[in-house]
Amino acid sequence: MASLGRAERWFAARGWRPFEFQREVWSAYLAGESGLIHAATGTGKTYAAWWGPLLEWAAEHPEEILDLDAPAPKGRNARRAAAAPLRVLWVTPLRALAADTEEALRAPLVSSGIPWTLESRTGDTTPAQRARQGRRLPTALVTTPESLSLLLSRGDAPELFADLRLVVVDEWHELLGTKRGVQMELALARLRALRRGVRTWGLSATIGNLDEAAEALLGVGERAMPARIVRGVEPKEVVVDSLIPPVVERFPWAGHLGTQMLPQVVAAIEEGDSAIVFTNTRSQTEIWYQAILAARPDWAGRIALHHGSLDRRQREWVEQGLRTGELRCVVATSSLDLGVDFSPVDRVLQIGSPKGVARLLQRAGRSGHRPGATSRVTCVPTNVLELVEVAAARDGIGMGAIESRPLVERPLDVLVQHVVTVALGGGFRPNELLAEVRSTRAYADLRDDEWRWTLDFVTNGGEALRGYPEYSRVVTEADGGRWIVDDAGVARRHRQSIGTIVSDAQIAVQYLRGGALGSVEESFIARLKPGDRFTFAGRPLEFVRVRDMKAWVRKAPNVKGAIPRWMGSRLPLSRTLAERLRARLDEASRGIFRDAEMQAVRPVLEVQAKWSRIPRADELLIERVKSREGFHLFVFPFEGRLVHEGLAALLAYRIARLRPITFSLAANDWGIELLAPEEAPLEDALAAGLLAPTNLVEDVPASLNATEMAKRQFREIARVSGLVFPGLPRSGKTARQLQVSSGLFFDVLQRYDPRNLLLTQAHREVLERQLESSRLGRTLERLAAARVVVTTPKRTPPLAFPLLVDRARERVSSETLAERIGKMQLALERAAG
């Protein structure tokens, strides 16, 4: 076995010493093992994974190591041709991280004389670079799951990976529990089949279900690799504190603060030389960037914003600025709490709810980066009630209550996409591919009928399409052997849709004079008229027109107008944090207000207690309020938004069974609102078992069918499985004639192919993933045992207020359409109304 000496010397030359866990990983890798490394960000996971393959190559090729004192070697192209073929794939979840990862990996190559080529390949890669990589891949390639799937769809995929030794999956916890993570599992299984003995190492933050994370990474069953789970350095001490609003208004805004905390935020940034201000959404990033800049115009050029929808060049400029210390403040989303490596900043601020314990820890880790040093995160409430969540998160950290990432079970849309990918990438034989697919954790329990349906779907379109000769996506080769794609149009559209697994159709935003700014969702641009102003990438812009799949803009004189919103950006409160939140409210109901946060929120909670009640841990609070809008029922289970959405539908469905009524539903992390034009029969419903955890098998699906949730969930499924496409660049008439909304697709499938498994999947996803149905069941058991307290406040109390103003609504109705619209009016042209 190769010695670790070369790595030890490289560390020593920098005045460092390898951590014990790094040595453990190097030895394990050299012994042929795979595994999962978990530790906080910035504690040396990268080099733990990277030095193994370097040591291995050096031991195999001692004569090829460059003499660093010798004259510079020959030209670039000659070097490229001579360099070793692809040996290491480094997969990172965000393309924003690729450049930075590349830089970190390059350092040891240069100073150790290892003549590898190292490049990135992501959605940001230029066509020229792509073409060069098309001819020959570098020795080590940094890429994203989508770009890896694209490589697997190349006809020469089997040859590309012939010399592959190691796949590293960086930030595995970010991919875990998402469809991109499942896509990654399938890609890993493919790589293991193409290249026997390839090793896999995952890098992850510490999460509650590391064993499952390792299984998902390394596969299950006969083909599974034994997993070594390596724990990195101990997490440093973490301090969580808050900026407390000087005056907490008890009402009427129910504690909504907006950017009122700006002076304190600016003061906190001033305390150090560098700061990161984290927000929960990309829109918030834009808002706070503008606010800070308006407060300190002298910081222009030394403050920046960073989120995943910005153009690559802007992100790189920001990352570089953080590294060199030129930037004193960056406003960012999670695009910066992941691996990008820069020196720790002096202050980390978190705007809005922490949402989860692990997430807050990760963000805190951006300060005081040195192992062992103290990390500190300062939370900034945007609503005073969020202070309770901060206190709850601190409790969670103190108890070591780190969230698990629930995994996704056998999503057929991702499988459909993968099967077409493999058909493109050299083709497959069904039995071999089935064994490969079942070696992943996500599809270990894939049923035979589901597999047959998938094959059927990609070949002849499924049951409802039998006998349609014009349809073919995947075909069997004439000699009866492999299943392949032989249609250029199918291939092109498929490759286009691989990249869209995560988001809605995006449209690039570009200045008329040239510069690219980034991308926003098409639906946002669709609402703009020429001349409208909006703010994006921190700049005031005027919308000119859409052409060639781009939104063309020019600079606007001042900041006015809308800020783009991105879908799916509302993260729910984690279960762990929800539990701690209930405990804190229970204390408050007994008059106990520990910590500065609870003291600050006390006046608001006292109004709540006076007008209604602060629910104890064993109570369920229901508030009935009458307003100009109608009759509101506010219910407070404190279980997180996803569970609440399901619960809202279920409760509305059960009440609506008693008599014809139509509810408009809202849900947030704390509770539920059921709003109706007439008073709901609450007492009758409670007596009839409104909260009973029985009949869930019938009632839950029935209540979901009463809403449009499955139809909305189908948007993503339709995209992933290639039923609808993002706008194709350079698309002519033909592409326009293939445009259809996923909603229409859903309706047509329901009517003409009701047994289509993608529909089944939409319902299942709403149940399992969207609503965390297991959690819904547990919640109902808790609520059924709880004491129900019904209050009838005259005005909307503080806890209910955020629900009252929530705009996102679902509907459950037991009235006929005609009855309903009999009570409605036409929404007229905006100018008239």
Among 509, 675, 762, 783, binds other proteins (CB under 8 A): 675
**C-alpha distances in Å from residue 38, one per residue of 48, 145, 537:** 11, 20, 34
Interface segment toward other proteins; rule CB under 8 A; list 165-173, 184-192, 553-561, 748-756: 748-756
Task: Tell me the C-alpha distance between 267 and 272, whole Å.
Answer: 9
Among 249, 346, 699, 753, binds other proteins (CB under 8 A): 753
Interface segment toward other proteins; rule CB under 8 A; list 46-54, 319-327, 397-405, 675-683: 675-683
Give whichever of 493 and 613 is closer to other proteins, judged by the CB atom: 493
**C-alpha distances in Å from residue 298, one per residue of 11, 195, 321, 799:** 41, 56, 17, 39
Please work out, in degrees rounded to the nearest 5, the angle formed at the alpha carbon of residue 535 by the alpha carbons of 532 and 541. 55
Give whichever of 74 and 751 is closer to other proteins, judged by the CB atom: 751
Among 468, 515, 545, 781, binds other proteins (CB under 8 A): 468
- Closest by Cα among 524, 425, 484 to 193: 425
Beta carbon of residue 705, minimum distance to other proteins (angstroms, whole number): 17
* Interaction of residue 719 with other proteins, rule CB under 8 A: no
Beta carbon of residue 825, minimum distance to other proteins (angstroms, whole number): 6
Beta carbon of residue 833, minimum distance to other proteins (angstroms, whole number): 9
Any idea which residue has 């293991």 for tokens? 192
* Interaction of residue 727 with other proteins, rule CB under 8 A: no
Interface with other proteins (CB under 8 A), residue total 57
What 3-state DSSP class applies to 73? coil
Give whichever of 392 and 474 is closer to other proteins, judged by the CB atom: 474
Beta carbon of residue 637, minimum distance to other proteins (angstroms, whole number): 22
* Interaction of residue 749 with other proteins, rule CB under 8 A: yes
- Closest by Cα among 525, 500, 529 to 510: 525
* Interaction of residue 488 with other proteins, rule CB under 8 A: no
Task: Tell me the C-alpha distance between 136 and 405, whole Å.
Answer: 37
List the 227-231 sheet strands across, edge first: 118-121, 140-143, 88-91, 166-169, 199-204, 34-38, 227-231
* Interaction of residue 461 with other proteins, rule CB under 8 A: yes
Give whichever of 697 and 827 is closer to other proteins, judged by the CB atom: 827
One-letter amino acid of 669: D
Residues 6 or more apart from 68 whose CB is under 8 A from it? 111, 113
Query: Looking only at residues 559 through 588 of this chain, which bind other proteins when binding is defined by CB under 8 A?
Result: none
Could you tell me the sign of the dihedral formed by the alpha carbons of 460, 462, 467, 470, in that order?
A: negative
Give whichever of 301 and 467 is closer to other proteins, judged by the CB atom: 467
- Cβ 177 vs Cβ 407: under 8 Å: yes
DSSP conformation letters of 144-193: -HHHHHHHHTSTTHHHHTTT--EEEETTHHHHTTSHHHHHHHHHHHHHHH
Task: Tell me the C-alpha distance between 324 and 318, whole Å.
Answer: 10
Beta carbon of residue 104, minimum distance to other proteins (angstroms, whole number): 42
Task: Tell me the C-alpha distance between 699 and 775, whole Å.
Answer: 16
Among 158, 677, 693, 701, binds other proteins (CB under 8 A): 677
Give whichever of 106 and 626 is closer to other proteins, judged by the CB atom: 626
Beta carbon of residue 111, minimum distance to other proteins (angstroms, whole number): 51
Interface segment toward other proteins; rule CB under 8 A; list 96-104, 231-239, 265-273, 469-477: 469-477
Interface segment toward other proteins; rule CB under 8 A; list 545-553, 569-577, 643-651, 656-664: 656-664
Query: Looking only at residues 592 through 631 of this chain, which bind other proteins when binding is defined by CB under 8 A?
Result: 629-631
Task: Tell me the C-alpha distance between 365 and 42, whole Å.
Answer: 8
Measured between its terminal Cα atoms, the distance across the chain in Å is 78
Cross-strand partners of 288: none
- Closest by Cα among 555, 471, 467 to 510: 555
Token pair, residue 710, equals 């499955």
DSSP secondary structure code for residue 62 in this structure: G
Among 448, 479, 698, 829, binds other proteins (CB under 8 A): 829
Give whichever of 289 and 725 is closer to other proteins, judged by the CB atom: 725
Task: Tell me the C-alpha distance between 271 and 308, whole Å.
Answer: 28
Token pair, residue 141, equals 């390639």
* Interaction of residue 472 with other proteins, rule CB under 8 A: yes
Interface segment toward other proteins; rule CB under 8 A; list 286-294, 301-309, 695-703, 738-746: 738-746
* Interaction of residue 465 with other proteins, rule CB under 8 A: yes
* Interaction of residue 745 with other proteins, rule CB under 8 A: yes
Beta carbon of residue 475, minimum distance to other proteins (angstroms, whole number): 10
Number of C-alpha atoms within 13 angstroms, CB side, residue 485?
24
Task: Tell me the C-alpha distance between 217 and 382, whole Å.
Answer: 38
Query: Looking only at residues 257 through 296 of this chain, which bind other proteins when binding is defined by CB under 8 A?
Result: none
Among 226, 476, 752, 785, binds other proteins (CB under 8 A): 752
Beta carbon of residue 726, minimum distance to other proteins (angstroms, whole number): 14
Task: Tell me the C-alpha distance between 289 and 537, whole Å.
Answer: 9
DSSP secondary structure code for residue 213 in this structure: H
* Interaction of residue 546 with other proteins, rule CB under 8 A: no
Beta carbon of residue 688, minimum distance to other proteins (angstroms, whole number): 22
Give whichever of 631 and 714 is closer to other proteins, judged by the CB atom: 631
Among 62, 489, 514, 531, binds other proteins (CB under 8 A): 489
Among 471, 683, 694, 695, binds other proteins (CB under 8 A): 471
Residue 300 CB coordination number (10 Å): 8
Beta carbon of residue 796, minimum distance to other proteins (angstroms, whole number): 14
**C-alpha distances in Å from residue 181, one per residue of 92, 406, 423, 528, 638:** 11, 12, 21, 35, 29
Give whichever of 472 and 705 is closer to other proteins, judged by the CB atom: 472
Give whichever of 371 and 461 is closer to other proteins, judged by the CB atom: 461
- For other proteins, what does the binding mask look like between residues 798 and 827, x meaning CB under 8 A? -----------x-x----xxx-xxxxxxxx
Beta carbon of residue 454, minimum distance to other proteins (angstroms, whole number): 12
- Cβ 346 vs Cβ 275: under 8 Å: yes
Residues 293/296/300/302 CA torsion (nearest 10 deg): -100
Using CB under 8 A as the criterion, which residues of the chain lie in contact with other proteins when the complex forms? 457, 461-462, 464-465, 468, 470-473, 487, 489-490, 493, 629-631, 662-664, 675-677, 722-723, 733-734, 737-738, 740-741, 743-745, 748-749, 751-753, 756, 809, 811, 816-818, 820-830, 832
